[in-house]
A and B are shown apart, each in its own frame.
Chain A
Amino acid sequence: MTKKLRSAGVLTAFALALTACGGAKVGEADKPATTGGKECGTFNLAVSPWVGYEANAAVVAYVATKELGCKVVKKNLKEEIAWQGFSTGEVDANLENWGHEDLKKKYITEQKVAVEAGLSGNKGVIGWYLPPWLAAEHPELKDWKNLNKNAAMFKTSESGGKGQLLDGDPSFVTNDEALVKNLKLDYKVVYAGSETALIQAFRDAEKNKKPVIGYFYEPQWFFNELKLVKVDLPAYTTGCDAVPAKVACDYPAYELDKIVSKKFADSGSPAYELVKKFNWTNDDQNVVAKYIAEDKLTPDAAAEKWVKENQSKVDAWLGK
């Protein structure tokens, strides 16, 4: 055996030597073009774990790299941890912030390590959604008042005889238990526990024509696949959600905004100007999200494609 091994080793070395002669050498070919990126430097961009955010990050990173010569470092982080990153200086910008008044208070007002950088243009909507087939077949379900009549339809193995209200991406604040109680609905909140589980439930419901009602939100790439229909809860009025236990109204619409670290804002980096001026619509984001999630483009390729089609918007961000 050992003899064989030895000859195998010698053969391999020989073969390597032969094939190597024709190969290109490391460092000979294209050196990465460094286009005067001195003044931008490194730009640490937090990337939260949903595709919509990734779309924002992809486009901003692409523009910052190509146009401003920044070295963009994407950090894949949960939102909370991205906020922490402002104080340790490891995150420069968060491109899609959903409310989080408590975190704003802590990091902007109290610790003064972060500052707001304007709206992203995206509108965030949270609420209860139905799969399209169900909304088409039972249009009355779009009004919350009719939910109790149809509670039996939503019964599952998990809901203990009541209707099931599927809840729970753990990242989002939910008032649903209070809503069910205060609106006297015959439903039980079941925590799906992840966005994946929620999407899979809606997918399955649409495919197999099963009734399902659940917590969801826009903008979301999944809307490109399935146009979920929102249920109308009692309309939101300012302050109706002040006391969490007594909430009996719909979720507010969020104007999604951008947060940057204080240090980054003061640095005078052109990337900061870009982040500040960055603004686009839900449809824009959904297009890029679709490129990434469904067409399986890399974030960079998706951004490149969108930028080519929307050069005027990009020019506006760059102040051209």
Chain B
Amino acid sequence: MTAQLEYPDLQDSEALLSIQGLWKVFGPKAARVPRRPELAALSRAQLLDQTGCTAAVRDLSFDVAPGEVFVVMGLSGSGKSTLVRCLTRLIEPTAGSIYFEGEDLRAADEKRLRTLRRSKFSMVFQHFGLLPHRKVIDNVSYGLEVRGESKPDRRRRAQEVIDLVGLRGNENLYPEQLSGGMQQRVGLARALACDPDVLLFDEPFSALDPLIRREMQTEVVRLHREVGKTMVFITHDLSEALKLGDRILLMRDGEAVQLGTGDELVGAPADDYVRDFVRDVPRADVLTLRWIVRQPRDGEELAGLELGPDVLVREATRQVLEAGGAVKVVADGQLLGVVGDEEILAVVADRETAPAPARRLS
């Protein structure tokens, strides 16, 4: 199945961040690996065996649209943390290109890079990366400080973001005096303080306990709504990815396995690896009616109810079951098909039946 290729790609013009053929290889004479096809084709184990190199990121290409939450997901060792560091060249990529607003970042010199990092990008780290010798407010204003803003300006802006992330009253504490969740709020505030265009998150919540994690995810959703930043979010947690991501890139061994929306991953897994990955997801929470419509059978009695294609199955369940017949799925006044009890129950009962159309109708 070549589903991946058929996804509608974003137009180049509207991409904020565009990654093409990105490689990061660790080890001796790493540069030769992407250059030589016979090496580039080797599996991870073979490559290590033959060259002593490890390819953390292999030939990745994707675009991130403005305002999008782009999630990169994978198990540990899949190269996702390396990838996010390559985006601002905290780790120098081995090959490939990175375009930000049309500018080639790999061609930027150290100074230009610093300017971009100071104003356009910010990052939130798994273990927070806070500076233990600075108070909360000084941690938050660090980015403003290094770009040379005056102290009153720094204070004012830092206070704003501290309020925004709900840290008011803790400005003069030191990081070690805060709980993990609070510390990550500091990390978040620090990233927001410079008012960047792109926020990079490197597994920001995986070191937190589950309750706090959920709270923080909600916080990110809220912030995204309020400040509307573009976000690249790294996680190994599928439910987190589904909850936050507009689109999800699933990685394995440095390679892209599938790129798509959450319901695409669940509804049309690209291969067994992805299918395995999404097996335990409650499908009714992810799939929309679009995924289970079928053509009405001849002489079938249709209910009077009409639903849109983007309604989640879970939300439509009661209405369809009570409608006493198949329900029409209509988009822009056009009939896409119908959904009956049978289709709904198949999803709710979480049976792995191939949805009627092999892929999403567009």
A and B touch in the complex (CB under 8 A): no
B interface residue numbers (CB < 8 A to A):
none
